[in-house]
């Protein structure tokens, strides 16, 4: 595999397992040094990346925790070139019965947490003409039942990426987002066990399959590569055609 990210230092949030772990591994395979970060206890991590990579705690609902993560990565690795805002949660229920707490918690993690990390890393990224990829979702582009908080937060993340790209272009920072359709992970395990849901979901995907974690990871890596150096403010949907219409 081309080592096109050699010398780059990348923060990946939500990297203990799932999509975040796949992204961390893909970037590491391409030569980047990975600062993996997550809120879950280290003993529960499935991420086994070791030296020269590093592992960190972060609670993206806390501005102080985000700043502490950035400071720790700078101490460990001397710089930050890349940021992947992957950490996120979902709460599912019909909108009329969704609690205010569930709605606001999802928005605080997915949207506000992504903003906190972008803002915390801004100065370090500016020094190196860095790049950010935020993880959105097709749920933020096409309406999905029983996910109003998640859908609203992901729509906002994707549009925020455009605003940040516009504001920070003068600083040499590129900001993009990816929007996967459903991906098998701990977050979606219950959905994959629901035969009716999955039948309807697959019927909505023109290519007839769900996205893999590797599909997402490789797209993120492309956006960080020199092949994408003129791409900013864009959302790439990894969806098999869900958002065609």
Chain segment 26-80, per-residue pLDDT in tens: 999 999 999 999 999 999 999 999 999 999 999 999 999 999 999 999 999 999 9
- Report the run of H or E that residue 237 belongs to, with start and end: strand 235-238
Query: How far, in Å, CA of 81 to CA of 57, rounded?
Result: 19
Domain-wise residue ranges, the chain: 9-186+213-236
Enter the pTM of the model.
0.95
Average pLDDT over residues 211-238: 97
Q: Please count the other Cβ atoms lying within 10 Å of the Cβ belonging to residue 84.
A: 30
- DSSP-based three-state secondary structure for 200: helix
Query: How far, in Å, CA of 213 to CA of 22, rounded?
Result: 6
Residue of 120, 89, 86, 109 lying closest to 14 (CA atoms): 86
Query: How far, in Å, CA of 183 to CA of 20, rounded?
Result: 12
pLDDT at 1 (0 to 100): 47
Q: Which of 122, 150, 166, 197 is catalytic?
A: 150
Residue of 4, 13, 57, 71 lying closest to 31 (CA atoms): 4
150: annotated active-site residue: yes
Which residues have CB under 8 Å from 122's CB, separation 6+?
168, 171, 173
Chain segment 117-173, per-residue pLDDT in tens: 999 999 999 999 999 999 999 999 999 899 999 999 999 999 999 999 999 999 999
Residue 197: is its pLDDT beyond 50? yes
Residue with tokens 């949907």: 237
Query: How far, in Å, CA of 194 to CA of 179, rounded?
Result: 22
Architecture of domain 9-186+213-236: 3-Layer(aba) Sandwich (3.40)
């Amino acid at each position: 595999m081309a080592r096109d990210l050699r010398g780059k230092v990348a923060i990946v949030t939500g990297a203990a397992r799932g999509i975040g772990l796949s992204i961390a591994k893909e970037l590491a395979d391409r030569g980047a040094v990975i600062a993996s970060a997550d809120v879950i206890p280290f003993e529960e991590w499935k991420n086994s990346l070791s030296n020269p990579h590093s592992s960190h705690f972060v609670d993206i609902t806390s501005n102080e925790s985000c700043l502490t993560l950035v400071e720790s990565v700078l101490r460990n690795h001397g710089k930050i070139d890349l940021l992947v805002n992957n950490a996120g949660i979902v709460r599912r229920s019909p909108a009329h019965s969704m609690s205010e707490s569930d709605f606001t918690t999802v928005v605080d993690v997915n949207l506000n947490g992504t903003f906190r990390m972008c803002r915390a890393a801004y100065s370090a990224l500016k020094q190196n003409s860095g790049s950010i990829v935020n993880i959105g979702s097709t749920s933020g582009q096409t309406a999905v039942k029983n996910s109003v908080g998640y859908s609203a937060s992901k729509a906002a993340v994707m549009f925020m990426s455009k605003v940040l790209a516009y504001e920070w272009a003068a600083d040499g920072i590129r900001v993009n987002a990816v929007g996967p359709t459903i991906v098998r992970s701990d977050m979606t395990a219950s959905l994959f066990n629901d035969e009716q849901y999955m039948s309807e979901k697959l019927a909505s995907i023109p290519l007839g399959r769900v996205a893999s974690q590797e599909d997402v990871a490789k797209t993120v890596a492309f956006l960080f590569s020199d092949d994408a150096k003129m791409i900013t403010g864009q959302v790439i949907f990894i969806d098999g055609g869900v958002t065609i219409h």
